Copies of this chain bind each other. A is one copy, B any other.
């Protein structure tokens, strides 16, 4: 069986990362690409489903999983744990499906250390002005809140050089095509193709 590829996708908020990943999943057949479902200890919100939005687990179980090194990465945000289970990811990859992980630079660093085959993609907004406009959103937030968001966005972007690919999300459809191009090209890499065309190669080399 051909292993899928794990893609780490990071971006400052306002770069359009989530919309791009959602659009990607819609255009690709389901068996090709999936988004990873994380574990969390936070309470389930109305409309959320266990195993679809998150795996909702008690704190004790999450901490047991940390102790057992069950996470490729995990973090604590506002008192709640969030983590990516190695087993969840590896089960999907083993079926040949590519998995997308929407994660920040810190999670990306943890995962690179544990999954050296993972590919990472950083997405940038097209300009400072556009980033500012997107971070302002509906104009209901204070300047202080917006300044904090911008500082976080800049902090995230200082790590872009750690990624394999860089996409500038200027035109949405071009950025989506960029994303698809990377996936398609990675599937053309020798290691993947050698497995896929194993029978053909054996036949061609038999003389």
Contact = CB atoms under 8 A, between A and B. Distances in A.
A193 B168 contact: yes
A164 to B, nearest CB: 6
Given A165-B193, A181-B184, A190-B165, A201 B160 contact: yes
Interface string A175-207: 000100110111011100110010011011111
Interface in A106-165: 122, 124-128, 131, 150-151, 154, 157-158, 160-161, 163-165
B161 A190 contact: yes
A166 interface: yes
Contact of A200 (B122, B126, B185, B201): B126
Contacts of A168: 193, 197, 200
Interface size bucket, A side?
35 or more
B181 A124 contact: no
A57 interface: no
Contacts of A124: 197, 200-201, 204
Contacts of A207: 150-151, 154
A21 interface: no
B165 A200 contact: no
A161 B191 CA distance: 8
Interface string A78-115: 00000000000000000000000000000000000000
Interface of A: 122, 124-128, 131, 150-151, 154, 157-158, 160-161, 163-168, 178, 181-182, 184-186, 188-190, 193-194, 197, 200-201, 203-207
12 contacts: A122-B190, A127-B204, A128-B204, A157-B201, A157-B204, A164-B190, A166-B188, A166-B189, A166-B190, A166-B197, A168-B197, A178-B188
